[in-house]
Amino acid sequence: AQKVTQAQTEISVVEKEDVTLDCVYETRDTTYYLFWYKQPPSGELVFLIRRNSFDEQNEISGRYSWNFQKSTSSFNFTITASQVVDSAVYFCALTRNTGNQFYFGTGTSLTVIP
């Protein structure tokens, strides 16, 4: 069975602080894909990043960075120098190598205080 756990329900940080959102996944598949999405109050989930299970390279995109570690089944997301616009709910998700069914974590609500 596939499972994604985001243990942090809510996080508050002061603007310009760094923040890391944790994601732990479970799967017995050798090929799988991991994702992060951002959900602002409007409701739409916005795609941030996709990683396949064979690519453990960390990625940096501006203030965002992702750390994928298969040894600990984790795919953590760090925002550097957070801004008020980063306030949203962030979801980690996993999908298998067949079909497009996504398994989402319960999300982490991030509030950046000015």
With tokens 């570690």, the residue in question is: 69
Q: By C-beta, is 78 or 96 nearer to another protein? A: 96
Does 114 bind another protein (CB under 8 A)? Our answer is no
Q: By C-beta, is 99 or 114 nearer to another protein? A: 99
Q: Calculate the alpha carbon distances from 103 to 11, 100, 112 in Å.
A: 22, 10, 27
Length of the chain: 114
64: tokens are: 């965002």
Does 9 bind another protein (CB under 8 A)? Our answer is no
Give the count of alpha carbons within 13 A of 71, CB side only. 1
Binders of another protein in range 15-74 (CB under 8 A): 31, 33, 35, 37, 42-47, 50, 52
Q: By C-beta, is 37 or 82 nearer to another protein? A: 37
CA-based R_g, the chain, Å:
14
Q: By C-beta, is 32 or 79 nearer to another protein? A: 32
Which residues make up the interface to another protein (CB under 8 A)?
31, 33, 35, 37, 42-47, 50, 52, 91, 95-107
